[in-house]
Amino acid sequence: MAEEPQNNNAYWAANVRIILISLTIWASVSFGFGIILRPALMGISVGGADLGFWFAQQGSILTFLGLIFFYAWRMNKLDAEHGVEE
Amino acid sequence: MDQYTLNLLVVGATFALYIGIAIWARAGSTAEFYAAGQGVPPVMNGMATAADWMSAASFISMAGIIALAPAGGYTQSSFLMGWTGGYVLLALLLAPYLRKFGKFTVPEFVGDRFYSNGARVVAVICLIVISVTYVIGQMRGVGVTFARFLEVSTDTGLYIGAAIVFAYAVFGGMKGITYTQVAQYCVLIVAYTIPAIFISLQITGNFLPQLGLLGGYAPTGGDVAFLAKLDQVVTELGFTQYTSHTTSTLNMVFFTMSLMIGTAGLPHVIIRFFTVPKVSDARWSAGWALVFIALLYTVAPAVGSMARLNISTTFWPNAVEGNALDGEALSLEQINTNPELAWINTWKNTGLLNFEDKNGDGFIQYYNENNAGMQAIAAERGWTGNELTKIDNDMMVLANPEIAKLPGWVIALVAAGGLAAALSTAAGLLLAISSAISHDLIKGSINPNISEKGELLAARISMGFAILLATWLGLNPPGFAAQVVALAFGLAAATIFPVLMMGIFSKRVNKEGAIAGMLVGLIATAIYIFLFLGWFFIPGTAMLANTPDNWLFGISPASFGTVGAMLNFGTAYIVSGLTKAPPREVQDLVESIRVPKGAGAATGH
């Protein structure tokens, strides 16, 4: 079992990388497109309002959903790759 | 059958269902009482989490809070992003690891990870302050909903609600609460969606309210976009444009962040993830929870904005085709004689809507009387102020079935839905409070040798006392109930979320760091809120006027949880760096919770 700690470290590093990528997307759609970058996206119209408004009221929620399911699916794969699944 | 009997029948049937579930799901062990025996499938747990999370305020008030905001509907998007974005943090940063840890309460994790009973007690204090402040609003919500639909006094409604919660929470514990919440979710989502579909069809011709928000305005053929029409009508009446950004960007970012990390730090939400069988289930379950929450949260802004446009065009009939002010306002005669408009008087009787013909011209002029341009027009036309003197936030949901001419059973269903939303959240909060008392204080500190049977009894007694306390607070609500919600989110953001995250993601943060961090986060956030809203919310003790000019960098008290969290993280890292690293076995514990393998059943010790 000597390699177990090493395997666990690699597993954790991979997990943290996936988390960081996911959180970058999480912040971009809400704080980015929905609030801070909204003025820059004013030109793109979505059904009577602009893209930033859509992200603030619907787009970010839909992206959050996608992110959680992506993370659950990706982590199940990662668990299996590293043999740490239950 | 009259509406009252119908309401009574539908609400009575749902209550019978909840009690039936409680008898079926009686808890026999502490594992069942605290964590439903870790046997709840992820989809079901997602539904229960959604019901737990969505309170009376989400169900009844949120649509109005967004649609009627004086600063415009866009600025309220913080609630939508904040209350859903928190689930991403839960799924990625907390839920799987806390499930792997496999104990029953949030303070228990804090106590074990930071090898200190002191840290555990600080966490219990934070948990109780957060949950008790939260539960007051829920108990009020139960009373108010009863009063509105079943014609009893608010106090009587509160007693009935408390008795129902008592029946299934004391006997069923987490197991009873979970399965009741699943039923309550079904009731509340059906009740919310049916009127929403009808108003969406009426205003935008779209079956799905989510698409309706982006669709065309149906009464004029759909060529004009709905949101453009709404912007046009509200600005014509002197209100802030619906889709424009009118507040400080920094404050909006901080407020959204406070709601997100506050959501992820609320103990009654976190403990729901202790009930699933496996670590991977905790991840899926957070996704399902958000699916069920999003069903309501994407409908709410649509329903609210459509109801607002509908009310505006009702009071300015000319606004449907052209400009509101080119025609006459709605006449009193119409209100009193047109059966289509009977709802206006119905809701005036409940006090949620009010109008007054101030200038006695027989018409009800609805406009923003604080807008300079409108004041000029009013002076010219002989208006003496806005005559639609009150539209309550709750109108946007409660009155929808009547405005859309839906049958009586839909109205009864909305009553049952509002009660389901309030009861399910109250039960979840009460469980978080009672398990902190019986498991963390009695078993953890006062009497560690208590038997399983003794602890189960202690848990039931604590639950009973928690319900009595909540009922008493519901009957005698502190005048500051609304401000307190800012405190609950701020504290969850500034204390619980950072300490849990550091406990999982850092092996270096030690007990000195964690305790110092929690205390700094707690005290800084509480002081900032008290400075603007009064010390311990006692009226007249606020030291600074609660206006953007006085706020530090323009950050409002409700947004300060983000700053509190930053202070907590900073303090914990600095203090940990100056003191010695956690012992070996604690570092091993952190290693073990990071890996799903070997989760097994939770243990109580």
Q: Does residue A1 belong to the interface with chain B, where contact is any CB pair within 8 Å?
A: no
Tokens of B12: 């009575």
- Pick the residue from chain A with its C-alpha nearest to B251: A35
- Which pLDDT score is estimated for B563? 96
Best mutation target among A57, A62, A77, A82 (most B Cβ atoms within 10 Å) is A57
**With an 8 Å Cβ cutoff, are A56 and B596 in contact?**
no
Give B302-338 pLDDT, tens digit per residue: 999 999 999 999 999 999 988 988 989 999 999 999 9
Domain ranges of chain B: 3-300+406-476, 307-393
Give B174-232 pLDDT, tens digit per residue: 999 999 999 999 999 999 999 999 999 989 999 999 999 999 998 888 889 999 999 99
Q: Is B322 helix (H, G, I), strand (E, B) or coil?
A: coil
- DSSP characters over B395-428: HHHHSHHHHTT--HHHHHHHHHHHHHHHHHHHHH
Distances (CA, A) of B359 to B345, B354, B379, B453: 20, 16, 11, 71
Question: In terms of Cα–Cα distance, which of B178, B420, B396 is closest to B289?
Answer: B178
Q: Is the Cβ–Cβ distance between B149 and B416 less than 8 Å?
A: no
Give A26-49 pLDDT, tens digit per residue: 999 999 999 999 999 988 888 888
Chain A and chain B share a number of CB contacts under 8 A equal to 140
Indicate the range of B228-232, B295-299, B400-404, B495-499 predicted with least confidence.
B400-404
Q: Model confidence at A1, in pLDDT bands (50, 70, 90)?
A: very low
- What residue spans of B25-61 are helical by DSSP H? 30-35, 42-53, 56
Total domain count, chain A: 1
Q: Give burial (CB, 10 Å; 0-12/13-18/19+) of A24.
A: exposed
Q: Is the Cβ–Cβ distance between B222 and B233 less than 8 Å?
A: no
Give B373-399 pLDDT, tens digit per residue: 999 999 999 999 999 999 888 888 888
Give B111-148 pLDDT, tens digit per residue: 999 999 999 999 999 999 899 888 887 888 888 778 77
Indicate the range of B209-218, B411-420, B474-483, B537-546 predicted with least confidence.
B474-483
Q: Is B216 helix (H, G, I), strand (E, B) or coil?
A: strand
Question: In terms of Cα–Cα distance, which of B159, B164, B149 is closest to B475?
Answer: B159
- Which pLDDT score is estimated for B601? 52
Q: Encode B408-440: b = buried (16+ Cβ within 10 Å), e = exposed.
A: bbbbbbbbbbbbbbbbbbbbbbbbbbbbbbbbb
**With an 8 Å Cβ cutoff, are A53 and B225 in contact?**
no
Would residue A1 count as lying in a domain?
no
- Pick the residue from chain B with its C-alpha nearest to A75: B280
- DSSP characters over A25-49: HHHIIIIIIIIITGGGGTTSEETTE
- Which pLDDT score is estimated for B479? 56
Kind plus residue range of the DSSP H or E element containing B173: helix B154-204
**With an 8 Å Cβ cutoff, are B77 and A75 in contact?**
no
- Which pLDDT score is estimated for B605? 46
Predicted confidence (pLDDT) at residue B298 exceeds the cutoff of 90 = yes
**With an 8 Å Cβ cutoff, are A60 and B297 in contact?**
no
Q: Is the Cβ–Cβ distance between B212 and B314 less than 8 Å?
A: no
**With an 8 Å Cβ cutoff, are B80 and A35 in contact?**
no
- Pick the residue from chain A with its C-alpha nearest to B253: A31
Share of chain B above pLDDT 90, in %: 63
- DSSP characters over B242-295: TT---S-HHHHHHHHHHHHHHHHT-HHHHGGGGSSSSHHHHHHHHHHHHHHHHH
Predicted confidence (pLDDT) at residue B253 exceeds the cutoff of 60 = yes
Would residue A86 count as lying in a domain?
no
Predicted confidence (pLDDT) at residue B598 exceeds the cutoff of 90 = no
Does the ipTM exceed 0.90?
yes
**With an 8 Å Cβ cutoff, are B594 and A5 in contact?**
no
Domain of residue A17, residue span: 7-81
**Mean pLDDT taken over chain B:** 90
Predicted confidence (pLDDT) at residue B44 exceeds the cutoff of 50 = yes
Predicted confidence (pLDDT) at residue B514 exceeds the cutoff of 50 = yes
Would residue A2 count as lying in a domain?
no
Nearest to B280 among A46, A57, A86 (CB): A86
Would residue A67 count as lying in a domain?
yes
Question: In terms of Cα–Cα distance, which of B195, B601, B185, B599 is closest to B428?
Answer: B185
